[in-house]
Amino acid sequence: MTSASTHTTRPLTTTYMWLIIMAGTLTCVWAITNLPLSRIDPYFNLLALGTVILGSRVAIRVPRINTNITVDDTFIFLGLLLYGGEAAVLLGMIGGVAAGLRISNKPRTVLFAGAALACALSVTAQGLLWIFGSTTDLLHHGPSAAIIAICLMGLLQYASHTAIVATANALKDNQTIWQMWNQNFLWISITYFAGAAAAGLIAFSIGTAGFYAFLIAIPIIAIVYLSYDRYLREVKSSARQAELAERERAEIERERAEQAERHVKELNNYIVEQERISRTLEETKEHFRHAAFHDALTGLPNRSMFSELLTAEIKSSRINSNHLFAALFIDLDRFKNINDSLGHSYGDLLLVAFAGRLEKILRPVDTLARFGGDEFAILLSNMSHPQDAIRVAERILEDLTQPFDLKENSSFTSASIGIALSTSGYDRPEDILRDADTAMYRAKENGKGRYELFDKDMHARAVSRLSLERDLRQAIEQKEFCVYYQPIVSLESGKLAGFEALVRWNHPVEGLVSPSEFIPVAEETGLILQIGQWVLEEACRAVNTWQQQSVVHRNLTLSVNLSAKQVSQPDLLEQVSHALEQSGLDARSLKLEITESVVMENAEAATMMFKRLRALGVQLSIDDFGTGYSSLSYLHRFPLNYLKIDRSFVSRITETGENAEIVRTIVTLAHNLGLQVIAEGVETREQQKQLESVGCEYAQGYLFSRPVEHDSVKALLDGELGSNGQLAIGEEALHDDSVVSVYPM
C-alpha cells in the first residue's frame, strides 16, 4: 500500500508517528492473540510470502509527495476475505514494513508504514464486521451485496489508510489534513478499489473453483498489476513533469529573485556612485567657487568676494546706524621697479610676504583682499571709532619701514593708502571702493608712502577729473592743442639761445588750460603719447622755419618735454627721428627734457634710450633738478648734456643774495659732471645776477619772457635784440595772466 517518509521531521509529526506505531503494534498483538490458528493453512503462508515479495519489490514511488504505492493490496484484501481481520492486520504489518524498507532504513519510517497499514486494516475489518457480521462471508450474500461489500472494503481501507498517512504528511508540511489529502491522496483511491475488486474476484473464484482458481488468479493479478503499473508510471511521469515544472518555476523564481537582488545591488551601487559623483562635483564646484572668489597667488579673497562682504557691511550699517566700517585701498609704490630689477618671482614673493604682514596687523573680523598686481584692500568691520582706520593705515606704513628679506635680497617698499569710511553713507560696494581708490591716488599724488582719508572735496575733484579725461579725448580729436614757446637766454651773452616748447590746451569753453592740470591725467590715460608726439612735430617745424629766416637765428635751440610714458615707449627713437626728418630740423638743435624722477625711476631703460637718442645727435636735459631724490652718484651714468635747476631753488634766491649757496653747489656739481646749467623761473634781476655769478650758463623765466604763442615769437624774433641785447618784452611778461586754471586738481 502507501507509506510516508520524512526528511526533516517536526516534533509533533514524530509523536504522531510513534503513536501510530504503538497503535499498530497493539493491533498486531490483538490480531496474533485472536488469530484462529485452525484456519491457518499453507495458502495463508503463500499469501504472506506474496505480500512480502510484492510489497518489497513492486512499489512505485510517487516522487512529489514522497509516498510509495504498492501492489500488495490485492493479497492483503484476499487475506481479509479468506482468513478474516486478524490475518489481514498481520499481512498489512508485514507488507507495510516490507514496503517501508524499500524507501527508507529509518526504523520510525519503516515501522510507521507497517503500523499505518495494520491500523487501517483493523478499522476496515471492524467496519465490515459491524455491517456484515463477518469478513469471510462477504461473497456469500448474493452478487449485488458482494459487489457493495467489496466496494465498501476498498472505501474503508482507502479512507482509513490515507487519513492516517495524510495526517503525518500534513503535520510534516504544516498543512491542514484536508489540504494534504485532497491534493495528494484523492487520485490513488483507484488502487484501493482495484485491489479490492481483484481480491473479490480471486476469492470468488477460489470459492467456486477451488485452489486452481488461485492459480488462475495469478495472471489476473499480473494484468491488474501491469495496468496499474502503466497507470502509475503515467502518474509518475506527470508527477515528475509537474515536479520538473515546479523546479523550473522555483528556478525561475530563484533567478528572478537573484536578478532582483542584483538590480537592487546595482541600484545601490549606482546611488553610491551618484553620491560620489555629486560629491566630486560639489568639490569641483567648491574649487571653482574658491577660485572665483580668491586670488591665486596669495589665496586671499579677491575683489568679487570683497564686494560681497562690503554689501553685507552696508546692510548691517543700514540696520544698525552705529555699525561702523571702513575700506582701505593699498597700492605699493614703485612696485614695478622691484619687478623689473629683481624679477617677477621676487615680486611675487614680496606680495605674499606683504600680505602676511598685513594679516598680522588685522583683527580676525577684518578682511584682507588682493585685487591684483600690487593692489590690496582691507575691510575693517565693527570699528568703534573712525580713528581706528587711520591707526591701521599708520601701522601698515610703520611696518613697511622694515625691509623685506627675501631670497637673500633685502628690499624696501612703501605703500599709498586710501581710506573710505562708512560714515560717508554708502549704498553700493562699488561706491566705497571708488572713494577708497580716489583717496589712494591722492596719497600717491601727495608724495606716496602715506595715507589719505576720502572726503567730499576729493569726490568733487574725482568727478571733475573724470570730465577732464572725457574732454581731453575730445580735445585730441578736435585738435584743441597749441604750443607756446618760452625763450631761453644765454647768461654769458645775454642773447636768445632758444625756446622751450610748452603745450597749451585751448579749451572751447574754459580758454587756455595749464599743462600742470591736464598733463598728469594725459599721462595716466596714455593720451600723452599722442599729445607729446604732436607737440614734438609741431615745435620742430616751427623752430626750423625760424632758423631758416635769418642767419642770426640759425643756432636757435628747441627744448621739448618728454613724459615718463614717452620715455618708456620702445619706438621713441623712431618718433623723434621722424619729427626731425619731417621738419628738416638739425638733431643738434633739439634738446629733450626729462624730469629727474622719470630718469631715476627707470634708470636702466632710460640709460639705454638716452644713448640711442644721443647717437641721433639729440641733446638731453635733466629737468626739475633738485625736486626728486636723485642720487648724485647716479647722475654721471646718464649721457646728459644739460641740467635744469628747478624753479623752487631759483625763487629762493633773495635780493640780498641769500640761498644762492645751494644753487652754486648744484652748478659746481653739474660742471664737474660735464653738464651745462639752465636756471628755470628767473623772475628778478637779482636772481639773474646771482646765477651769472655762480657760472650758470642759461636762464629762462618771466624776467625774460612768459611762454608765448607761435605768432608772437615771430614778432619777438623780428625786434628781438634792442641796442643792449636784451629781450624786448622783458618784465612786462610778469603781468601776463593769459594762462588760467579751470580744473581744481
Write out the residues near ligand C2E by the rule CB under 6 A: 486, 501-503, 514-516, 519, 532, 535, 561-563, 593, 623-624, 647, 680-683, 700-702, 707
Report the residue number whose CB is nearest to ligand C2E: 701
Which positions from 650 to 689 touch Ca ion by CB under 5 A, shown as an x/- string?
A: ------------------------------x---------
> According to the 3-state scheme, what is the secondary structure of 487-550?
EEEECCCCCEEEEEEEEEEEECCCEEECHHHHHHHHHHHCCHHHHHHHHHHHHHHHHHHHHHHC
C-alpha cell at 667: 652748478
> Counting contacts by CB under 5 A, is residue 593 touching Ca ion?
yes
Determine which residue in the list 601, 624, 697, 720 makes contact with Ca ion, applying CB under 5 A: 624
What is the β-pairing status of strands 375-380 and 409-411? unpaired
The distance of closest approach from Cβ of residue 725 to ligand C2E in the complex, given in angstroms and rounded to an integer, is: 20
Q: Please, which residue, 434 or 647, has the CB nearer to Ca ion?
A: 647
Cα angle for residues 391, 303, 307 (degrees, 5° grid) = 80
Q: Are 484 and 543 in contact (CB under 8 A)?
A: no
> Shortest Cβ distance from residue 670 to ligand C2E (Å)?
17
∠673-679-682 over CA atoms, to 5°? 165
Whether 499 and 505 have beta carbons less than 8 Å apart is answered as no
Which residue's CB is nearer to ligand C2E, number 383 or number 594? 594
Choose the one of Ca ion, ligand C2E, none that binds residue 535, judging by a C-beta under 5 to 8 angstroms depending on kind.
Answer: ligand C2E
Between CA 500 and CA 486 the distance in angstroms is: 5
Q: Of 139, 145, 165, which is closest to residue 80 (Cα–Cα)?
A: 139
Q: In angstroms, what is the minimal distance from the CB of 502 to ligand C2E?
A: 4
- Angle formed by the axes of helices 572-583 and 528-549, to 10°? 30
Q: How far is CA 661 from CA 643, 652, 654, 666, in A?
A: 17, 10, 11, 9
* Cβ neighbourhood burial of 98 (10 Å; 0-12, 13-18, 19+): buried
Residue with cell 600717491: 444
Minimal distance, residue 682 CB to ligand C2E, in Å: 6
Work out how close the CB of 680 gets to ligand C2E at its nearest, in angstroms, rounded to a whole number: 6
Site track 528-567 with Ca ion (rule: CB under 5 A), x = hit: ---------------------------------x------
Question: Of the candidates 722, 734, 650, 729, which has an alpha carbon nearest to the alpha carbon of residue 692?
Answer: 650
Please identify, using beta-carbon distances, which residue of 4 and 590 lies nearer to Ca ion.
590
Residue 720 within binding range of Ca ion, rule CB under 5 A: no
Residue type (1 letter), 511: G
Residue 471 C-beta: closest distance to ligand C2E, Å: 17
For the range 259-266, what are the long-range contacts, defined as Cβ-Cβ under 8 Å and sequence gap of 24 or more?
none
> Under the criterion CB under 5 A, does residue 596 sit at the interface with Ca ion?
no
Q: CB under 5 to 8 A by kind: which of Ca ion, ligand C2E, none does 519 bind?
A: ligand C2E
From the list Ca ion, ligand C2E, none, pick the one residue 563 interacts with, judged by a Cβ distance below 5 to 8 Å according to partner type: ligand C2E
Closer Cβ to ligand C2E, 278 or 516, answer by number: 516
What dihedral do alpha carbons 691, 696, 697, 701 form, nearest 10°?
Answer: -40
Which residues make Cβ contacts (< 8 Å) with residue 25, sequence separation at least 6?
115
Q: How far is the CB of 640 from Ca ion (least distance, A)?
A: 14
Is the Cβ of residue 490 or residue 514 nearer to ligand C2E in the bound state? Answer: 514
| Interacting partner of 347 out of ligand C2E, Ca ion, none (Cβ under 5 to 8 A depending on kind) | none
Query: Nearer Cβ to ligand C2E, position 176 or 530?
Result: 530
Report, in Å, the least distance between residue 719 CB and Ca ion.
26
624: phi > 0 → left, psi -120 to 50 → alpha, else beta; which? Answer: left
Q: 454 or 499, CB closer to Ca ion?
A: 499
To the nearest whole angstrom, how small is the minimum distance from the Cβ of residue 564 to ligand C2E?
9
Q: Which is nearer to Ca ion, 421 or 519 (CB)?
A: 519
Give the DSSP letter string of 647-669. Answer: HHHHHT--TT-TTHHHHHHHHHH
Which residue number, 421 or 475, has a Cβ lying nearer to ligand C2E?
Answer: 475
Residue closer to Ca ion (CB basis): 269 or 516 = 516
- From 55-63, 307-315, 589-597, 603-611, span contacting Ca ion (CB under 5 A): 589-597
**Partner from Ca ion, ligand C2E, none binding residue 683, C-beta < 5-8 Å depending on class:** ligand C2E
Query: Would you say 146 or 739 has its CB closer to ligand C2E?
Result: 739
Residues of this chain that bind Ca ion (CB under 5 A): 561, 593, 623-624, 680
